[in-house]
Amino acid sequence: MVVLKKWFLYLKKSKKVRASSLTEVLVATVLILVVFGIAVVTFDSTLQSTINRNTQPIETELNELQYLYKNGKIKPPFKDAIGNWEITIEKKVLQNETFIFFDAVHKMSKKTITKKIKNIDNH
């Protein structure tokens, strides 16, 4: 027990405990919060742009409409709305050949996705 007391007194004399001031702690906390805030905003905008660029669901819908057209289930002209997308199917003649255009236009961003197939049989 005496050895522990001597050792504790030795540590107390030889090492001074240095602490940060309240101002330093507050500044460090504010810096951490600012960096975290910037990271959250960056992550949110990246996630939002990834979601907006994802056109897979509407392309799947256009492929399904092409399948339905090829099997005689729908005929042009055709219009439909799915979510924020306006879908139209039109028959157009280009260079003496008839094509069927499947267009999807986003209502807000005006982004357009177009697929065309050659009209083999006259529906």
In a domain, 3, yes or no: no
Q: What is the mean pLDDT of residues 1-22?
A: 66
Helix/strand/coil for 97:
strand
Q: Say what the pLDDT of residue 51 is.
A: 74
- Considering the entire predicted model, what is its pTM? 0.57
For residue 112, the Cα-to-chain-centroid distance in whole angstroms is 18
Pairing of strands 78-82, 85-94: antiparallel
CB burial of residue 99 (10 Å; 0-12, 13-18, 19+): middle
Residue 47 identity: L
Q: What is the mean pLDDT of residues 69-94?
A: 90
CB burial of residue 119 (10 Å; 0-12, 13-18, 19+): middle
Note the pLDDT tens digit of each residue in 84-117.
899 999 998 888 888 999 999 988 888 899 998 8
Query: How many structural domains is the chain composed of?
Result: 2
Instruction: Record the tokens describing residue 27, joined without a space.
Output: 């500044």
Helix/strand/coil for 73:
coil
105 and 91 in a common domain: yes
Where does a domain end: 54, 71, 98? 54
Note the pLDDT tens digit of each residue in 42-70.
999 998 888 777 888 899 999 999 999 98
102 and 85 in a common domain: yes
| Residues spanned by the domain of 73 | 56-118
84 and 67 in a common domain: yes
Q: Is the pLDDT of residue 10 over 70?
A: no
CB of 114 closer than 8 Å to CB of 92: no
Q: Is the pLDDT of residue 123 over 50?
A: no
In a domain, 10, yes or no: no
Q: Is the pLDDT of residue 16 over 80?
A: no
112 and 64 in a common domain: yes
58 vs 18 pLDDT, higher one:
58
